Amino acid sequence: MTIDTSELSPLETLLTEILQAVVGHLIPWDIKGLSYTSKRLRQASLSILFRHVKFEFSLAGIKGLKDLLKSNVCGHIVSFSYGITELLKTGTYLQSLEILDFDLFRSKILTPDSYMEHANDMYDEGYEADEFNSYMAIYKSVHAIRSEQRSIIDEGADLILSSIFCALPLLREVRLSFREVKDDDCLASDMIIKEEFYKHHLQVVSSAIHSARSVGVAIHTVSLLHFKLPYYHSWEQPNLDPPSESLRQLLGDIKVLRVFGVDDRVLELLPHCVLDLQQLDMCRVVAPEKVIKDFFKTNKKSIRSIGFHDVVILGLNYLDNNTPLSASMLCRMRGVPQSTLCRAADCSCLPSWKEGWRLVVGDGRSQLSPVTSAKRKYDEL
């Protein structure tokens, strides 16, 4: 098929490789606008526009995944973000409180007295009456969330992830973005399925990754964003074996792990998993030195590269409980010689740009080098 160049603009007559290089220097919003101007420019923009895609655990997200399977952009996707939330209890998923029933919600989950106490506290702190939700608005919100979750899980709608990953030949990274389901502080943490934690989500994603790898899709990177354990009272004895096993299954064949804003208690689970990780990137992490050292010790044979920025180590001394992780500290933790050729560099391992370092270990030598990688312009599309 030939193209009538007389109808094309000078930009459109460029070779595809050159045109894509030009498009790659634009900011995301300009690329998006450019893609609407012609079929030629749309085609040249696809590999950048759809290099990274985001979906959520929701009915709208499931519909989007089905639409993705029917589209012509699957061959361009390299990074896939999946937003997942805590699961609320129901009597059918676990033998627990039935949130969908208003009488039980009012008597056992959020009593009117508890709501009024919380509302008074907010008022005393300076909030106006219209700045916090009404009692019925909270109930309707929780009811809608749980109804949606129940529909997705009961129908197995999120299992479509396996088909999605198998249909993305260039997929290399899976990002899991964790968030709390409740947006009102007055809601009791007892409504969250603590025993199951994120087990359901992790199993679904693990299964999808294994299915994709079985058909030749080389997924080698997993990013965990804002992963936190549920809140437990001091008298509770949480069983952390299920989430630990779920993480082991998720990361079993993964070579690169990136953690951003994760709970130090989540990091405590990692040393219990003997993995084959070659690279670890830590961003905005606060954890005791022992947790980091235990992880390095468990995965000492495989880890070859460690990147970090905004990492704080707890309890190193009595004068300052929060000590920023430094290059020399990391060398000491790893038991490798300290390098004198150290330079700071931009870290783009996750969307937030910060100064960072990378410790590279291999062949009996270690060196600290600037953290460098291509900027992900598509993150905000």
21 and 91 in a common domain:
no
Reply yes or no on whether the pLDDT at 149 is more than 50: yes
**Residue 69, domain member (yes or no):** yes
Looking at the structure, do residues 2 and 98 belong to the same domain, yes or no? no
Q: Could you give the dihedral angle defined by the CA atoms of residues 19, 24, 29 and 32, in that order, rounded to the nearest 10 degrees?
A: 40
Answer yes or no: is pLDDT of 96 > 50.
no
| Length of the chain in terms of residues written | 381
> Considering the domain boundaries, does residue 187 fall inside one?
yes
Residue ending a domain, among 169, 197, 217, is: 217
Q: Name the residue among 271, 226, 231 with its Cα closest to residue 247.
A: 271
pLDDT band at 372, cuts 50/70/90? very low
How far is residue 119 from each of residues 122, 185, 292, measured CA to CA in Å?
A: 5, 10, 41
Among the candidates 167, 200, 217, a domain finishes at 217
Q: Whole-angstrom Cα distance, residue 135 to residue 61?
A: 28
Q: Cα–Cα distance between 177 and 259 in angstroms, integer?
A: 10
If pLDDT is split at 50, 70 and 90, which confidence band does 14 have? Answer: confident
Checking if the pLDDT of 318 tops 50, the result is: yes
Read off the tokens for 118: 């919380």
Same domain as 204, residue 78: yes
The predicted structure's pLDDT at residue 55: 96
Residue 139 lies in a domain: yes
Give the pLDDT of residue 364: 41
The two three-digit tokens of residue 353, written as one number: 């740009």
Instruction: Please tell me the least confidently modeled range out of 100-104, 111-115, 150-154, 175-179.
Output: 100-104
Q: Residue 374: its pLDDT value, please? A: 39
Q: Is 225 inside a domain boundary? A: no
Distance, in Å, from the CA atom of 67 to the CA atom of 82, rounded to the nearest integer, reads: 16
Same domain (yes/no): 35, 163:
no
Kindly state the average pLDDT of the residues 297-311. 85
Higher pLDDT, 274 or 142: 142
The pLDDT of residue 303 is 86
Rounded Cα distance between 51 and 219, Å, is 14
Q: What is the pLDDT of residues 186-219, one digit of tens each?
A: 555 556 665 566 788 999 999 999 999 999 999 9
d(CA 21, CA 310): 32
Q: Give yes or no: residues 64 and 200 share one domain.
A: yes
Same-domain status, 123 and 170 = yes
Average confidence (pLDDT) over 71-93 = 82
The predicted structure's pLDDT at residue 171? 96
Asked whether residue 108 is domain-assigned, the answer is: yes
Do 92 and 12 lie in one domain? The reply is no
- Quick one: 6 and 106 in the same domain? no
List the single range of 75-84, 184-193, 239-248, 370-379 with lowest mean pLDDT.
370-379
Query: Does residue 144 share a domain with residue 13?
Result: no
* Per-residue pLDDT, 329: 84
Query: Of 176, 198, 217, which marks where a domain is finished?
Result: 217
As a whole number, mean pLDDT of residues 67-81 equals: 93
Is residue 45 located within the same domain as residue 57?
no
Average pLDDT over residues 353-376: 57
Domain membership flag for residue 344: no
Query: What pLDDT is attached to residue 245?
Result: 85
For residue range 216-273, list pLDDT tens digits in order: 999 999 999 998 877 666 676 777 777 788 888 999 889 999 999 888 888 888 877 7
Read off the CATH number of the domain in which 17 is found. 1.20.1280
pLDDT of residue 343: 45
Residues 83 and 159 in one domain: yes
Mean pLDDT value of segment 11-15: 74
Residue 174 included in any domain: yes
% of the chain beyond a pLDDT of 90: 23
- pLDDT number for residue 52: 92
Same domain for 133 and 12: no
Give tens-digit pLDDT for 102-133.
Answer: 787 787 777 888 888 888 887 788 877 777 77
* Average pLDDT taken over every residue of the chain: 78
Question: What is the predicted pLDDT for the residue at 173?
Answer: 96
Q: Which domain holds residue 32?
A: 1-49
Q: What is the pLDDT of residue 95?
A: 37
Q: How far apart are CA 308 and CA 370, in angstroms?
A: 11
CA distance 26 to 48: 10
Task: Show the tokens assigned to 236.
Answer: 């509770």
CA distance linking residue 71 with residue 75, whole number of Å: 10
Least confident of 29-43, 140-154, 205-219: 29-43
User: What would the 3-class secondary structure string for the chain be?
Assistant: CCCCHHHCCCCCCCCHHHHHHHHCCCCHHHHHHHCCCCHHHHHHHHHHHCCEEEEECCHHHHHHHHHHHHCCCHHHCCEEEEEEECCECCCCCCCCCCCCCHHHHHHHHCCHHHHHHHHHHHHHCCCCHHHCCCHHHHHHHHHHHHHHHHHHHHHCHHHHHHHHHHCCCCCCEEEEEEECCCCCCCCCHHHECCCCCCHHHHHHHHHHHHHHHHCCCCCCEEEEECCCCCCCCCCCCCCCHHHHHHHHHHHCCCCEEEEECCCHHHHHHHHHCCCCCCEEEEEEEEEEHHHHHHHHHHCCCCCCEEEEEEEEEECCCCCCCEEECCHHHHHHHHCCCCCCCCCCEEECCCCCCEEEEEEEEECCEEEEECCCCCCCHHHHC
Residue 279 lies in a domain: no
d(CA 198, CA 205): 11
**Cα–Cα nearest to 80, from 255, 193, 278, 219:** 219
The residue assigned the tokens 């000078």 is 10
Question: pLDDT grade, residue 316 (50/70/90)?
Answer: low
